[in-house]
Amino acid sequence: MLRYISKRLLYMLMSLFLIVTVTFFLMRAAPGGPFSSEKQVPPEIEKNLNEYYGLDRPWYIQYFDYLVSIAKWDFGPSFKYKGQTVNDLINEGFPVSFFLGMESLLIAISIGVLLGIIAALNHNKWQDYAAMVFAVLGISVPSFIMASILQYFLAIKLGWFPVARWESLQHTVLPALALAAMPMAFIARLTRSSMLEVLGNDYIRTAKAKGLSQGQITVKHAIRNAILPVVTYLGPLSAQILTGSFVIEKIFGIPGLGSHFVTSITNRDYTTIMGVTVFYSILLLLSVLLVDIAYGFIDPRIKLAGGKKGE
């Protein structure tokens, strides 16, 4: 297990290193960017930039200093706003985004798994078809369209939910649903096919031969095994929710990190884009690692196989 985790950690660091390096050198090459001579910024920002990036130093010193800053969790100043750093933005926006993300993660997993199980247990019956039509719709609609439509009908036309902003739990429902729609559809499909596969396994026949009822077989033997691929999907799922949040937060006027990121893209606030990207990458890689470790605990085969090697 230990060895497994350290190996994963190593890959994670290498991926992270790659993305930090790529963003750094792309930024250096960006015309009109922080490193270019023809950039047009107020002197105050110029000063901040110089302090953080050491603009007059050779590139390898700049690069090395940048790596050190990132390691110290310092993502640098904004390219557009005086007195604002990327860390400020993260501290302010991320808690909001985190809450929204967790809420939609919960919705996506619980409803998705439930739909998938119902569909598999009623394979080729109407419940199956209904759940799968729902799921195919879910993965066919881009999130910004889904969000706009939900907002238009449920909030503006019907008035069931607040249209926008981030004030009460009520305000979170619609954005969380919009954000959860696509991952939920993916999970439903994944659970269904995994459940169908599990139900065809020999050990299900064994359970039946023991005289267990369909309900007992489903609960005790099928679901636990069918859920394993869903757990491995949690890594990509967090990436989906994260990138989805850019769009959703923008549409619903939520002051999260996602909408700040989109604003910085529109403003070409290069240093903010760079810093937030690195932060997001760390976040995603960490969640993938967490999922991997969690999987090791859920699947006894991995835990022990890794354990023997690890000691």
Dihedrals phi, psi of 85, to nearest 5 degrees: -110, 165
Question: d(Cα 180, Cα 198) in Å, to the nearest integer?
Answer: 26
Residue 143 binds other proteins (CB under 8 A): yes
DSSP 88-100: HHHHHHHHHHHHH
The least CB distance from residue 169 to other proteins, in Å, is 26
Question: d(Cα 90, Cα 111) in Å, to the nearest integer?
Answer: 30
- Which position among 9, 15, 134, 162 is part of the footprint of other proteins (CB under 8 A)? 15
Compose the 212-241 pattern: x for residues touching other proteins by CB under 8 A, - for all others.
Answer: xxx-x---xx--xx--x----------x--
Residue 288 binds other proteins (CB under 8 A): yes
Residue 158 binds other proteins (CB under 8 A): no
Residue 268 binds other proteins (CB under 8 A): yes
- Which position among 2, 3, 11, 82 is part of the footprint of other proteins (CB under 8 A)? 11
Dihedrals phi, psi of 23, to nearest 5 degrees: -60, -40
Sole window of 47-55, 56-64, 112-120, 281-289 interacting with other proteins (rule: CB under 8 A):
281-289
Residue 293 binds other proteins (CB under 8 A): no
Tell me whether residue 169 or residue 209 sits nearer to other proteins (CB atom).
209
**Residues whose CB falls within 8 Å of the CB of residue 285, separated by 6 or more in sequence, listed in order:** 12, 15, 16
Residue 141 binds other proteins (CB under 8 A): yes
Q: Is 74 exposed, middle or buried (0-12, 13-18, 19+ CB in 10 A)?
A: middle
Tell me whether residue 26 or residue 68 sits nearer to other proteins (CB atom).
26
CB 204 within 8 A of CB 133: no
CB 78 within 8 A of CB 271: yes
Residue 61 binds other proteins (CB under 8 A): no
Question: d(Cα 218, Cα 299) in Å, to the nearest integer?
Answer: 18
Tell me whether residue 64 or residue 203 sits nearer to other proteins (CB atom).
203
Q: E strand or H helix at 60, and its extent?
A: helix 59-71
Sole window of 56-64, 69-77, 82-90, 263-271 interacting with other proteins (rule: CB under 8 A):
263-271
Grouping H, G, I as helix, E, B as strand and the rest as coil, residue 197 is helix
Other beta carbons within 10 angstroms of residue 36's beta carbon come to 14
Q: Return residues touching other proteins (CB under 8 A).
A: 11-12, 14-16, 18-19, 22-23, 26-27, 29-30, 33, 136-137, 139-145, 148-149, 152, 156, 200-203, 205-214, 216, 220-221, 224-225, 228, 239, 243, 246-247, 251, 262, 265-266, 268, 270, 273-274, 277, 280-281, 284-285, 288, 299-301, 304-305
